[in-house]
Amino acid sequence: MTRNSSYKLACITRTVYMASRLCRYRWRIMFFCFLCTLVLPMYIYVSMVMIYVLKHGAPGGVVHPVLQTHFTASGLKFSSTLAPHPVKSFWRNELNSGALWNIIQYMIDSQHNPIINPNLAVNPPSISYKTERSRRSGNGCSPDFEINNTMPDFFTLPMQMKDFVTSMYCREYPLIIDPLDVCDGGPLAKNRAPTLILAIKSLTADFVNREAIRETWGRSGRIKTRDGRQRLVRRVFLLGKSKDLHIEEKLQLESDKYGDIIQWEFMDTFFNLTLKDVLFWDWFSRRCPHARFIFKGDDDIFVRTPALLDYLLAEEGNRSFSNGSRRSNKMETFVVGDVINSAGPMRSNGSKYYIPESFFKGIYPSYPGGGGVVYSGSLAHRLLEMSQKVHLFPIDDVYLGMCLQRLGVYPIHHPAFLTFDFPKDEPKEPCANHTFLLVHKRSPAEMFQLWTETSNPSSECRNATLRVETRVEFSRQKSVQNKNTKQSLLQNLINKNYDA
């Protein structure tokens, strides 16, 4: 045999051997192939189903959530000086819910925020904003008598709600009385700007309240703070017009005498109070733009103005000494008051604060109670700008909260802002009148009494410090664990405020 043929033989025997082995494992191999033919199509099927679900959503009418588009400005979310970040954004979810305000706001948002335009294509709103807007061309100041077409329950609404919705596109009301000398308008305007301007909401008929304020906590001029510094304070009263022509004449005389009246050409009603905010921000930006702080509140409260100045100067000092950034920037987010969290619209027909579901759905953002709130002048400029993008809401402090939320600014809660008066069950402290920054509500006679008492504190009360959280507030916090209790408590609080 040649070497070649022996090699061939070896190959053949090897092949036969391999084939017999293959035969031996045939059943196992066949079993595996069988498995493969079964599993592979299943794998392909599952992948295709998954791709379909990801692309189109699960079959059977289950709607997958629409992408959330929050655009709260990036800001100081966690800071010792600011209130905690609101847990929920009231803003986005309920916008396209069929309620008139929500729809209008949704339209304004999509105009100003292209990010949310895609959503608009997915969920077209039930009212065409185009026809809505073409109807409201111009400044929207002719009353809208066709509102019943967009708000089916219009005719069943209380009078003030009707008045509001027929005029809610208008915010251009001329000034009737415009005091020029409240703040220095000359080249030295910045250096002579007041530290604090007191902007007090008043009605033409409230003459006695204004007199008491002028002579007590609302004095205009250099005010001595409690630790002896002198700071410039100015005062203005914010008014609309009344139907009583006789009273209107008296107001003109009052304005000539004191020069502290600002009056606009709109009916001074409760649901028109938001106009006072928006129009005051505009007045402020033109007539007194350098004032460092603004107090805005009612004419039936008492403010310890010297103590308030001390507090504000301390806040300003605190912020300017911390690292790096400019002081004005730090104060741009400053707003303090009695902050109300997770309140919602009042749905009972008879309430002064009644907001029907056809007008607004959702909860309110955190807002400082309108009885008395303080913010920086720089924040007021930003509020004016933001208010152009937030549709008017009939309740003024809620509207402020809406604008603040849009600016990403969180109001500071301070327990010395007693917009609900002293807690009812609090024991009477001898120096209690020296521990608040403001208290609601006080008659003109009480204002004089409080002014005398707080201007010359007894030696016992001279060192009294500002109030801190009280027992009542502590127990309120504890009850937060029970959501229902919390809701009813808040509702009670709101009722109390509203009825006051």
Ligand X SMILES: *[C@@H]1O[C@H](CO)[C@@H](O)[C@H](O)[C@H]1NC(C)=O
Applying CB under 6 A, the residues found at the interface with ligand X are: 148-149, 156, 158, 160, 163-164, 167, 266-267, 269, 271-272, 311, 314-315, 318, 322-323, 349, 430, 432-433, 442, 446, 449-450, 453, 459-460, 462-463
- 213 — phi, psi (to 5°)? -65, -45
* Cβ 299 to ligand X shortest distance, Å: 16
Q: Give the residue among 359, 354, 355 at the shortest CA–CA distance from 147.
A: 359
* Cβ 309 to ligand X shortest distance, Å: 12
DSSP structure class, residue 365? P
* Cβ 291 to ligand X shortest distance, Å: 19
Q: Give the residue among 289, 206, 197, 215 at the shortest CA–CA distance from 242.
A: 206
**CA separation for the pair 317, 311 (Å, rounded):** 10
**CA separation for the pair 68, 397 (Å, rounded):** 27
* Cβ 165 to ligand X shortest distance, Å: 9
Helix (H, G, I), strand (E, B) or coil at 280: helix
By beta-carbon proximity to ligand X, the closer residue of 6 and 318 is 318
* Cβ 264 to ligand X shortest distance, Å: 9
Q: Which whole-number Å values give the CA distances from 92 to 66, 169, 405, in the listed order? A: 11, 22, 12
By beta-carbon proximity to ligand X, the closer residue of 215 and 460 is 460
Helix (H, G, I), strand (E, B) or coil at 232: strand
By beta-carbon proximity to ligand X, the closer residue of 91 and 271 is 271
* Cβ 466 to ligand X shortest distance, Å: 9
381 C-beta neighbours (distance < 10 Å), count: 15
By beta-carbon proximity to ligand X, the closer residue of 147 and 490 is 147
23 phi-psi bin (left φ>0, alpha ψ -120 to 50, beta other): alpha
Amino acid identity of 411?
Answer: P
By beta-carbon proximity to ligand X, the closer residue of 167 and 376 is 167
**CA separation for the pair 495, 489 (Å, rounded):** 10
Contact criterion met (CB below 8 Å) for 171 and 146: no
* Cβ 421 to ligand X shortest distance, Å: 9
* Cβ 323 to ligand X shortest distance, Å: 4
Long-range own/partner contacts, residues 314-318 (CB < 8 A, 24 or more apart): 315/81, 316/292, 318/81
Q: Give the residue among 221, 253, 213 at the shortest CA–CA distance from 237.
A: 213
* Cβ 148 to ligand X shortest distance, Å: 4
Kindly tell me the sign of the dihedral angle through the C-alpha atoms of 441, 444, 447, 449.
negative
By beta-carbon proximity to ligand X, the closer residue of 183 and 196 is 196
* Cβ 40 to ligand X shortest distance, Å: 57
Helix (H, G, I), strand (E, B) or coil at 184: coil
By beta-carbon proximity to ligand X, the closer residue of 163 and 473 is 163
Strand segments, DSSP code E, in 150-260 are: 175-177, 196-201, 221-224, 230-241
Q: Which helix (H) or strand (E) holds 278?
A: helix 273-287
* Cβ 82 to ligand X shortest distance, Å: 11
* Cβ 180 to ligand X shortest distance, Å: 24
By beta-carbon proximity to ligand X, the closer residue of 220 and 274 is 274
DSSP structure class, residue 72? P
Residues, the chain:
500
Contact criterion met (CB below 8 Å) for 456 and 410: no
Contact criterion met (CB below 8 Å) for 278 and 388: no
Quote the crossing angle between the two packed helices 396-407 and 273-287, to the nearest 10°.
50
Amino acid identity of 180?
Answer: L
* Cβ 46 to ligand X shortest distance, Å: 49
**CA separation for the pair 229, 174 (Å, rounded):** 39
Cα-trace Rg, the chain:
33
By beta-carbon proximity to ligand X, the closer residue of 95 and 213 is 213
